[in-house]
Amino acid sequence: MQRHILPNHSDMDTKQKQLHLSTSSSNDQSGFRLCYGNQPSTNSDLLIPLQNLQESMPSYDQWQGLMPLAVEPSASVFHNDDYLLAVIASSDLQTDDMSASSYTAYSRIFQLMQKHGYPQLLRTWSYFPNITEGDQIDAYQQFCSGRSQAYQEYAFNSNEPEYPAATVIGHHATGFQLYFIAAKQAGISIQNPRQVNAFNYPASYSKDAPLFARALLHTTATQHVLFISGTASITGHETQHQDQALAQLQECLCNIEQLLITAEQHHFPKTALENMLQLKVYIKHAEDYAELRAALATRLGALEHVQFFHADMCRRDLLVEIEAIAIQPVCTT
């Protein structure tokens, strides 16, 4: 993993910096940028090796309002007064034993949070290959076990830890990439009444439950940030619409719309799907891309805020997964 080196703007007042996400390249260096694709656009980009299905449109996550915090031996770390964002060095994360790698990664997350004083984990993204491969226990189940072990050891001795929003996706390259956002103040877990909480799934899915919230709402003095986890065609705890990519897409959108409704009950401003800051659409079979893109264009109109990636999901029968982010100002009147 290449390090994202930014100038040390020690005179910049980060207190007034808000977290903001742009999905296009920016020359603003007061932030942090991830590049998705086969190779980074510049020597300073951090790379997630997901195939971008929009070949003519480079994909980025440009998190602005963050400054470099410290030189860490195994992470790139950025912050402002409210948020900590860090990427765990992929050289430390192998994929031959995902349980051990997941434990290492999440242990490192909690160590960085404790060291720098951001005790609330809000959002995680994890990408690794061959996510559903394995004889008795697949790589995703191994990942869940390692994550669970780290929570047991590091979740600040809480009997009821607040789980973050999360995405766990399989790419078609090599290596395990992970980044996260933490905060000084806790967020609010947003669950979906159409779905069983992931951490309450039956053991038939995984010996150790997936420890994440369907969404997480975080509010500062100036903004609300809603992180929606990777959301699939699942109701209750069962996959719906097997072998039907278009129907699975519609089920994903229904689940996200329900999360937006639930978030309103926690004072998040009413937000439509077409007004989300970002939607990431992960598609298992690249040949489904044209149909799914057309369906989203019909549903949402303009797709400037939508990114499409060729990727695998945590179950073999899932064909589509969508994550989302919305940021709204806090109303002061």
> d(Cα 118, Cα 238) in Å, to the nearest integer?
35
User: Could you list the active site residues?
Assistant: 321
Q: Which helix (H) or strand (E) holds 324?
A: strand 320-329
List the alpha helices (DSSP H) in the chain.
Answer: 98-116, 139-154, 245-264, 289-300
> 149: buried, middle or exposed (CB in 10 Å: 19+, 13-18, 0-12)?
middle
> d(Cα 162, Cα 144) in Å, to the nearest integer?
16
| Long-range contacts (CB closer than 8 Å, 24 or more residues apart) made by 53-57 | 53/283, 53/286, 53/289, 53/308, 53/309, 53/310, 54/307, 54/308
Q: How many angstroms from the chain centroid is the CA of residue 309?
A: 14
CA-atom Rg of the chain in angstroms: 19
Q: Which helix (H) or strand (E) holds 310?
A: strand 306-310
> d(Cα 234, Cα 321) in Å, to the nearest integer?
10
